[in-house]
Amino acid sequence: MEYDDRLNELLNLQKGWDSYGAPPINPEVVAAVKSFLKAIRQTRASVVPTNSGGVQVESHIDGYDVEIEFITDGEYGEDEEILAFWSKRA
């Protein structure tokens, strides 16, 4: 998969990687992102870390901005949550 290297890089981010005390990226979130990307076979997406220890997948398709953030509700192993945003560019 094309994004494996990038996602593995995100796993190497240490606490405070954003200079504001962000936690390390949750390995379970990275696994969820890998599963998601495999399922949709999206090759035009960007993969970026979030300051909550999650991962965001961003894509720009046919005038729409798509942002999907994979997060957890606490410590590793807690319930995962996916936040999705879809908006039409003006």
Mean pLDDT, rounded, for 38-44: 64
Cα–Cα dist 48/32, whole Å:
14
Q: Which fold has domain 4-88?
A: Nuclear Transport Factor 2; Chain: A, (3.10.450)
Question: Quick one: which of 25, 36, 26 has its CA closest to 59?
Answer: 36
Mean pLDDT, rounded, for 25-32: 87
Looking at the predicted structure, is the pLDDT value of residue 43 above 60? Answer: no
Strand, helix or coil for residue 60: strand
pLDDT of 17: 94
pLDDT over 90 for what percent of the chain? 23
pLDDT band at 87 (very low <50, low <70, confident <90, very high): low
Cα–Cα dist 68/84, whole Å:
4
Go through the chain and tell me how many residues it has. 90
- Residues in CB range of 61: below 8 A, 6 or more apart: 44
Mean pLDDT, rounded, for 53-79: 72
Strand, helix or coil for residue 47: strand
Query: For the chain, which residues make up each domain, given as ranges?
Result: 4-88
pLDDT of 35: 76
